[in-house]
Amino acid sequence: TGYAMTGGPNEAWSYGAAAYERIAAAMRLRERLRPYIHDQMRVAARQGTPPMRPLFVDFPDDPGAWLAEDQFTLGPDLLIAPVLEPGATGRDVYLPAGRTWVDVATGERQAGGRTVKVPVSLDRIPVFSPEGAKVLDVVR
C-alpha cells in the first residue's frame, strides 16, 4: 500500500539526450501555461465547467464538434488533437466553425468549420488557438 519506489530511472535526464530535450520542452511549456491552467481551475470551481472538455461543450451548434471524438479543448483557448497512432506523420483535425484558428507551432491561420491535415512528429502534436487569444503568446 502507498507509494513504492521502484528504483528505476524517473528523472527527465534518465532517458537520453533526445528524450531529455523533449521532456524539458514539455516541462517549460507546462510552467508557462500554469497561470492559464489556474484560471481554468477557478472557472471549474465556480461554474462547474471542466478544464478539459469535448469540442461540443464550447461549440454546441457545430455538428462537426459533436463528431470529433479524439480532440478536446483545454479551457476556451486551446484545442488539442492528440496523436494516437505510433509513427504517425500527420492527422486530421477538425476546427470548429465561427473562429479563425491559429496553429501554435507554425502561426498559420485556418478558417473554422472544416477539417485540416496537420503534420505531426515526436516534437509536435496539433494544438490550435483562436486568433487573438492571449494564450497564443504563452504557447509559442
**pLDDT value, residue 7:** 65
**pLDDT value, residue 2:** 56
Mean pLDDT per 10-residue segment, the chain (140 residues): 64 82 90 95 96 97 97 97 95 97 95 97 93 88
* Contact (CB, 8 A) for 74 and 138: no
Residue that the C-alpha cell 517549460 belongs to: 28
* Cell reading at 21: 530535450
Q: pTM (2 decimals)?
A: 0.86
Q: End-to-end alpha-carbon separation of the chain, Å?
A: 42
**pLDDT value, residue 12:** 78
**pLDDT value, residue 137:** 84
Taking the C-alpha atoms of residue 49 and residue 35, their distance in angstroms, rounded to an integer, is 17
